[in-house]
Structure 1
């Protein structure tokens, strides 16, 4: 879904103090009134927005498309990146203006001289955005939210909210109708829930009326009931609730984990342990080292790719969370050195450390 509106005659300036304070309170640095408003609405409603300088849009047309493999594009951080044929781009009639849902372009953003803007609000496929974000190593607030699934029904509401704030703070007037391109309407999720599965996963039989009240309070619509279970419609903004297990987790979360009792009966089994007992040996060594002034450290098994560039045995993650956590460690040395550096930078030089952990190859 792609929507936008044009606002003309704005005045670029610093944001009012209340808006600056709101952004600073969530760790963002104020830039100018237009950018600050889009960031404010992003954190207020969870919908990413982007403002283009309307006078820089060649042909007065905005096109969402892909571009040829290897096409150069300069992003807002002034870095030239080679585009993939799978990158979704926001373009005018001639050039790309923005990597859709990820990062803006250097030559299409608003500046102090901007007087007319085109305000964009869209919903993008999370898979597309995640692949593009990881491909170009661009982790932005917009990509963070699109990757995890935004609410397509919030698109127009957020656009109107931002447009109203721009008129209030930056002046100008709305000079076009809202354009809303929504070729295939995304329907809410349908989920069937079995009472027997609810009882089994939660470990307790909850009154069926209580379950219904919980689901209704969560804005999950009950469309059909039977002695065996429920048929539900989950709103689109609940992108984390798509399966029966997700619904049961929500029921338990609201019902309260503390309200699920435990059996008084305790079961156990006899197991055979190889000699020597590794856990017992580790405990003996740990006690000995700790009693002699050593501190145990536990470093992340995920580490930087740069440590293992020339190591063919190092396991590389296919879909890493970040570039700093994209390899499985093949030794414990690098994590220990990072710990030493961290402490040395804080004037703690008298260090005695040890670690027990797994390595991977």
Structure 2
């Protein structure tokens, strides 16, 4: 919420600087995220002094003033009655820029008024766009030095305040002023009651209200304003709304938004001539009813949606957004102004169902004050009368479900001290609640009787009252003691601890952890799968806030690709990252949630090195990380097969197995996906099931003694068709069981036309060792020949189709 400081000062006597205000609000639980300045639009307007003031020679109501800006003197003709010698005021020199009520800028020029040259203009608050007063020029007797920029002096300071859901009573200028009064002790400024003119016929002659759902709408009030003139709001009001982050529309809509920000109660203005029969019905939606809302979208209404309707059709979604047909437009002449109290649960459910969140719905969801309905209605009506020249009908219609009484609660002083760990005096507790606007009395022993105002709907019980004591007393006054640790008797969650272990191992591999959203949308699914969208049982969200967050992910790939795209668009191409996150899918009637591990590499593996040339990451960089992870878990029976998964490059992928158990997949993302994603660099990606790793990891680490005897190595090169994979050769070597063969490594792969079309050379290094004695050369040669001859025989047999 953006809070213009000048507006806030109309509700509280604030003399602190913005940083001090921000500190007090933050200590009260209202975090101030930023302090910004808002330009008022005019330029080159300075503080100047009227050094001489005499009657205009050719006009009785004009004054000829000599104005000094600290450097030069100017002759200025002024029509303000308060123009006098010695007055410091706002002076626009020739060339200065002002903004008119239509929002257009214009420059001040030298001109002749009644035959006398005027070099500039002395300005009122209204002409500057900083207030409503147009009776005289601005008086700045104690402000700044001559020649100082008025834009700098009067610029609006805006506080950006973060509101938690339980602080709905603070979502207004009035609410924040109350909080500053309670926390910092600043005095509140008494605001005069709004006076509505009531010059028209009684409203009951023209308007009828029927509330069909008193639970969803416990109170509904309205006023009728006729003969309004639609147009832009005054510049001062537009400035205030813009500083508060709201775009000005017209004087009617701006009046409702102004009241919303000022008092925190949403209102809505209808074009009364569009309401059939002058009847307003508050009811549930009917089957197949639709409404085109103010955002131009046609919405299919749910039978549980609460509506504002006329005799024939819906006019608005109650508490959320109005309809396009009944909106206030340039030709509107008569206004029905609504001020209501809607049930927060009704509004929240409707807002979620329709995927529609507005300033009004946010406040109704948090809870508004039922006893503020008429005050807000009268404030807005008076403002509309002033801005549009309209005439309000006599009286207001107020349909309500009884009176809305303040809640009475009790608070124990002893309980307060125990909960807060600090003894708070009776006087301090009474002072806190009086500053908060609560009525309080003490029984002389231990019990407070407290009356909670209706605008504090967040107060439900004694614990909430204790929280208010802590909040206003100040969390900074509570000392943190030594934390006593009591270990739990229950067993640790093994999967949770395993997840933490995996996270530490991946960080040790030099990877950075990513956190992406479980929710994805059709757009990223189309990028990943294209026209080959699988028939996977996606789980869809019933009431998504956005179409791009409407589906639960079945793999971590979409979110990681979005992260890669985000970084690539910002010239951050070198990525080494991982994520441990949940995936969701449906099998039959069962909804399943699992945890997966994703690893993603992109860009250069060694981006900066004074000696080695940069090299892009490849399949083997990814495979090395995966193998290190599996080896650390002592999963040694790893196998890799290309199952031709379409999201990966045809020849640069492998499905990962532990024995015969599939545990994941890895490889280079298919270039077609990267083209659709518009990412120039290759992306290497692996996804592994955490559940399978947890099940397969070694439960016990077996220590073996160091080898006492030396090993002997032999290299072997064989020529094979390209279609025969390294995995096949490793399996054949494994079939030649040998007690002396310790390790086998592929140390070289070579392809050349000299070998023939479609052929390759694979060179393996065999490591032999006898654990009982030093192995002799003859024994090694004999064992090596047995293994290699046996493998050749198996390859030949396989080639002839006998295996």
- In the superposition, relative to structure 1, how do residues 171 and 276 fare at CA in structure 2: closer, same or farther (>3 Å)? closer
Higher helix share: 1
- Asked if 1:210 corresponds to 2:431, the answer is no
Q: Distance in 1 between matches of 2:261 and 2:388?
A: 20
- Asked if 1:303 corresponds to 2:519, the answer is yes
- In the superposition, relative to structure 1, how do residues 54 and 270 fare at CA in structure 2: closer, same or farther (>3 Å)? closer
Please report how far the alpha carbon of residue 79 of structure 1 lies from its aligned counterpart in structure 2 after TM superposition: 2.5
Partner of 1:22: 240
Q: Distance in 1 between matches of 2:413 and 2:547?
A: 43
Deviates most, 121-130 or 212-221: 212-221
Please report how far the alpha carbon of residue 64 of structure 1 lies from its aligned counterpart in structure 2 after TM superposition: 1.6
Extract unaligned runs of 5+ from structure 2. Answer: 1-218, 526-533, 585-592, 594-803
Instruction: Give matches, 1:84-95, under 5 Å.
Output: 84-95=302-313
1:106 to 324, 331, 348: 324
1:236 to 428, 451, 454: 454
Instruction: Give matches, 1:140-289, under 5 Å.
Output: 140-223=358-441, 225=443, 227-264=445-482, 267=485, 278=498, 279=500, 282-289=503-510
CA RMSD of aligned residues (A): 3.0
Partner of 2:274: 56
Q: Distance in 2 between matches of 1:358 and 1:167?
A: 57
Q: Distance in 1 between matches of 2:488 and 2:334?
A: 76
Q: Distance in 1 between matches of 2:224 and 2:465?
A: 41
Q: Contact 2:520 / 2:551 at 8 angstroms: preserved in 1?
A: yes
Q: Distance in 1 between matches of 2:496 and 2:288?
A: 58
Q: Distance in 2 between matches of 1:326 and 1:230?
A: 49
Deviates most, 266-275 or 116-125: 266-275
Partner of 1:337: 561
Please report how far the alpha carbon of residue 84 of structure 1 lies from its aligned counterpart in structure 2 after TM superposition: 2.5
Partner of 2:723: none
- Asked if 1:135 corresponds to 2:336, the answer is no
Please report how far the alpha carbon of residue 11 of structure 1 lies from its aligned counterpart in structure 2 after TM superposition: 1.0
- Asked if 1:118 corresponds to 2:342, the answer is no
Partner of 1:355: 579
Deviates most, 247-256 or 319-328: 319-328
Q: Distance in 2 between matches of 1:270 and 1:56?
A: 67
Give 3-state SS (helix, strand or coil) of 1:62's partner.
strand
- In the superposition, relative to structure 1, how do residues 184 and 347 fare at CA in structure 2: closer, same or farther (>3 Å)? farther
Higher strand share: 2
Q: Distance in 1 between matches of 2:551 and 2:300?
A: 24
TM-score (normalizing by structure 1): 0.86
Partner of 2:297: 79
Give 3-state SS (helix, strand or coil) of 2:291's partner.
strand
Q: Distance in 2 between matches of 1:276 and 1:253?
A: 35
Q: Distance in 2 between matches of 1:322 and 1:199?
A: 46
Q: How many residues align?
A: 355
Deviates most, 70-79 or 48-57: 70-79
Q: Contact 1:48 / 1:142 at 8 angstroms: preserved in 2?
A: yes
Q: Contact 1:9 / 1:116 at 8 angstroms: preserved in 2?
A: yes
Q: Distance in 1 between matches of 2:369 and 2:317?
A: 20
Give 3-state SS (helix, strand or coil) of 1:230's partner.
strand
Give 3-state SS (helix, strand or coil) of 1:253's partner.
helix
- In the superposition, relative to structure 1, how do residues 151 and 261 fare at CA in structure 2: closer, same or farther (>3 Å)? same
Give 3-state SS (helix, strand or coil) of 1:177's partner.
coil
Deviates most, 326-335 or 28-37: 326-335
Q: Contact 1:234 / 1:242 at 8 angstroms: preserved in 2?
A: no
Give 3-state SS (helix, strand or coil) of 2:233's partner.
coil
Give 3-state SS (helix, strand or coil) of 1:52's partner.
strand
Deviates most, 21-30 or 236-245: 21-30
After superposition, the C-alpha distances for 1:287-340 in whole angstroms (9 at most, x for unaligned) are 331xxxx4332334x524657997658595x88776666666554333322222
TM-score (normalizing by structure 2): 0.41
Deviates most, 193-202 or 307-316: 307-316
Q: Contact 2:520 / 2:559 at 8 angstroms: preserved in 1?
A: no
Give 3-state SS (helix, strand or coil) of 1:68's partner.
coil
Q: Distance in 2 between matches of 1:322 and 1:191?
A: 41
Q: Distance in 2 between matches of 1:311 and 1:202?
A: 53
Give 3-state SS (helix, strand or coil) of 2:575's partner.
coil
Give 3-state SS (helix, strand or coil) of 1:158's partner.
helix
Q: Contact 1:7 / 1:176 at 8 angstroms: preserved in 2?
A: no
After superposition, the C-alpha distances for 1:2-40 in whole angstroms (9 at most, x for unaligned) are 111111111111222222222222322222111121112
- In the superposition, relative to structure 1, how do residues 85 and 157 fare at CA in structure 2: closer, same or farther (>3 Å)? same
After superposition, the C-alpha distances for 1:56-77 in whole angstroms (9 at most, x for unaligned) are 1211222222242222222223
Deviates most, 87-96 or 114-123: 87-96
Deviates most, 143-152 or 254-263: 254-263
Extract unaligned runs of 5+ from structure 1. Answer: none
- In the superposition, relative to structure 1, how do residues 349 and 214 fare at CA in structure 2: closer, same or farther (>3 Å)? same
Q: Distance in 2 between matches of 1:71 and 1:55?
A: 22
Q: Distance in 2 between matches of 1:236 and 1:324?
A: 39
